[in-house]
């Protein structure tokens, strides 16, 4: 598709779609609770639909009424063996978290995904799950999908320190630990998004969190509840950056999730001198309105503990940095290499093809600021965040056109992205 270029400005207000991480988990906990859970404002992206389809195949009745989803939870003991292999599509969250759920189920299941998912390492979850007593096998020594798994109703608890900063590995182990015979102790490498922990409490379960250490007892039961999903800050990020770098812009994004494990991008925008205001804070829902205006930006350094708090925003932050004064450096982000694409290489290649000057490094990038972007043909390579970054970059192109190939990847997390962008274009 041909992307809009040379934007005169962006203005208006938006409510971005529901948070992807919370949407996945609301289906999982709703299915594993006893009783009827209602989920409002769930993200209707393809990744979340993969999780929904998987739980239906595991015997859970899920009514999909659009903005309201009703889950007839069956409890951990009510899941049944799937008749066919589970299709996880493009979704790392689905395959990894559901591995943890299946760990405690005494039946066989197979999970597969698309080309991109089939290249993503699953050994980060299979290694600890084997220690707990699960039989699991994947492809190559990294356990790439398809994964074949046979769980057990006698799971051993685990004491495990994560070798990578990953909310997916942590969450998979929490789901397994909830079904184990005793207490598990899971220690994070860095603090990562804590939606699984929050939702355990929301569904009436218990866990103890002490800094990076999480203690979870097996044999808990969950009670159905209502979940309202806030807007996804990872989706809002594209319009936050657009509002800062496109001249004559002011964008107001309402009801954006501001869980502190996800707000690294706000810290970076502030460090770069971006004009961002936070209002209408709802402490309970952990959401707020974020307003951005076109700004003069300074380069910054992004590394260390902030990385997991903005990992999915790094592609669009790289674009932001191409418009700042000075050279921005990103370090400690080697995890980007095992996302839907190698997001270090693919982001650098894409923006460099448009005239940026980005040097990929082993664990991040060096991004020269104040570069003029020009037209190019970009292929998402099946990565939604690459597609949306290209679309925001195109707005700055005054010379030439930008063509986006495989744009359908954006359906993964933000099906209404182009409608929302269109609404903001003056």
Asked if residues 21 and 193 have their Cβ atoms less than 8 Å apart, the reply is: yes
Closer CB to ligand SPQ, 20 or 44, in the complex: 20
Site mask, ligand SPQ, residues 299-338, x = CB under 6 A?
------------xx----------------------x---
Q: Is 23 in the site for ligand SPQ (CB under 6 A)?
A: no
Residue 46: enclosing H or E segment and its boundaries? Answer: helix 46-57
Residue 21 binds ligand SPQ (CB under 6 A): yes
User: Is the Cβ of residue 19 or residue 397 nearer to ligand SPQ in the bound state?
Assistant: 19
Residue 303's CB is within 10 A of a number of other CB atoms, namely 13
Please, are residues 332 and 287 in contact by the beta-carbon 8 Å criterion?
Answer: no
Closer CB to ligand SPQ, residue 55 or residue 371? 55
Taking alpha carbons only, the member of 324, 327, 323, 413 closest to residue 364 is 327
Task: Out of 42, 236, 339, 424, point to the residue binding ligand SPQ (CB under 6 A).
Answer: 339
413 binding ligand SPQ? (CB under 6 A): yes
**Min dist. Cβ of residue 29 to ligand SPQ (A):** 13
DSSP designation for 309:
G
161-180: contacts with ligand SPQ (CB under 6 A):
166-168, 171
Number of residues that bind ligand SPQ (CB under 6 A): 18
Minimum distance of ligand SPQ from residue 284's CB (angstroms):
21
Min. distance of Cβ 339 from ligand SPQ in angstroms?
4
Using rule CB under 6 A, residue 99 touches ligand SPQ: no
Which of the following is catalytic: 47, 114, 232, 312? 312
Q: What is the number of helices (H) and of strands (E) in the chain? A: 12, 24
Residue nearest ligand SPQ by beta-carbon distance: 92
Phi-psi map region of 10: left, alpha, beta (phi>0 left; psi -120 to 50 alpha) = beta
Q: Site residues for ligand SPQ, window 345-364 (CB under 6 A)? A: none
> Which of 197, 313, 340, 420 forms a contact with ligand SPQ (CB under 6 A)?
340
The verdict on 44 binding ligand SPQ (CB under 6 A) reads no
Edge to edge, what strands does the sheet with 327-330 contain?
301-302, 327-330, 364-368, 358-361
CB of 192 to ligand SPQ, least distance (A): 6
Can residue 91 be called a binding residue for ligand SPQ (CB under 6 A)? yes
Residue closer to ligand SPQ by CB (options 128, 355) is: 128
Residue 312 annotated as catalytic:
yes
Given the DSSP bridges, would you call strands 250-257 and 287-293 parallel, antiparallel or unpaired?
A: antiparallel
- Please give the sequence-ordered ranges of beta strands (E in DSSP) within 283-355, or none if there are none: 287-293, 301-302, 327-330
Question: Alpha-carbon distance 320 to 241, whole Å?
Answer: 6
Binding mask 234-273 for ligand SPQ (x = CB under 6 A): ----------------------------------------
CB neighbour list of residue 5: distance below 8 Å, 6 or more residues apart:
375, 394, 395, 397, 398, 400, 401, 402
CA distance 253 to 234: 12
Q: Which two structure tokens, joined as six digits, stand for 218?
A: 């097996």
Residues 181-210 that bind ligand SPQ (CB under 6 A): 193
Binding flag, residue 389, ligand SPQ (CB under 6 A):
no
CB of 118 to ligand SPQ, least distance (A): 12
Where residue 204 falls (left for φ over 0; alpha for ψ -120 to 50; beta otherwise) is left
176 Cβ contact partners less than 8 Å away, ≥ 6 residues apart: 100, 101, 103, 104, 128, 129, 132, 134, 155, 158, 184
Report the residue number, 82 or 100, with the smaller CB distance to ligand SPQ.
100
In the complex with ligand SPQ, the residue whose CB is nearer, 150 or 331, is 331
Contact 362, 397 (CB under 8 A): no
Which are the catalytic amino acids? 312
Residues that bind ligand SPQ (CB under 6 A): 20-21, 47, 91-93, 166-168, 171, 193, 311-312, 335, 339-340, 385, 413
């Amino acid at each position: 598709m041909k992307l809009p270029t040379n934007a005169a400005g962006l203005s208006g207000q938006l409510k971005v779609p529901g948070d992807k991480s919370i949407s996945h988990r609301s289906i999982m906990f709703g299915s594993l609770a006893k009783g009827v859970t209602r989920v409002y404002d769930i993200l209707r992206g393809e990744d979340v639909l993969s999780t929904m389809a998987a739980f239906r195949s595991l015997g859970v009745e899920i009514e999909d009424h659009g903005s309201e989803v009703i889950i007839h939870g069956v409890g951990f003991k009510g899941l049944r063996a799937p008749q066919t292999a589970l299709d996880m599509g493009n979704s790392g969250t689905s395959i990894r978290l559901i591995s943890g759920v299946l760990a405690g189920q005494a039946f066989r299941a197979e999970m597969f995904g698309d080309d991109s998912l089939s290249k993503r390492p699953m050994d980060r979850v299979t290694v600890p799950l084997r220690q707990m007593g699960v039989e699991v096998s994947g492809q190559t020594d990294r356990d790439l999908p398809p994964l074949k798994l046979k769980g057990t109703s006698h799971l051993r608890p685990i004491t495990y320190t994560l070798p990578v900063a990953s909310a997916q590995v942590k969450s998979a182990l929490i789901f397994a630990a909830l079904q184990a015979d005793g207490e598990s102790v899971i220690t994070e490498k860095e603090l990562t998004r804590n939606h699984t922990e929050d939702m355990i409490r929301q569904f009436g379960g218990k866990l103890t969190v002490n800094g990076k250490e999480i203690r979870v007892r097996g044999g808990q039961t969950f009670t159905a509840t209502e979940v309202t999903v806030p807007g996804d800050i990872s989706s809002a990020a594209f319009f936050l950056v657009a509002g800062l770098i496109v001249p004559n812009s002011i964008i107001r994004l309402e009801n954006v999730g501001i869980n502190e494990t996800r707000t690294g991008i706000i810290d970076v925008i502030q460090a770069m001198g971006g004009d961002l205001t936070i209002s209408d804070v709802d402490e309970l829902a952990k959401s707020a309105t974020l307003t951005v205006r076109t700004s003069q930006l300074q380069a910054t350094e992004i590394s260390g503990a902030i990385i997991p708090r903005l990992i999915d925003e790094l592609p669009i932050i790289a674009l932001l940095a191409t418009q700042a004064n000075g050279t921005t450096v990103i370090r400690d982000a080697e995890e980007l290499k095992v996302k839907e694409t190698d997001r270090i290489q693919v982001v650098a290649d894409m923006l460099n093809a448009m005239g940026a000057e980005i040097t990929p490094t082993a664990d991040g990038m060096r991004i020269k600021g104040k570069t003029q972007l020009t037209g190019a043909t970009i292929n998402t390579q099946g990565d939604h965040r690459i597609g949306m970054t290209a679309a925001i970059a195109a707005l700055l192109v005054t010379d030439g056109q930008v063509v986006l190939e495989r744009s359908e990847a954006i359906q993964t997390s933000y099906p209404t992205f182009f409608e929302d962008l269109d609404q903001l274009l003056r």
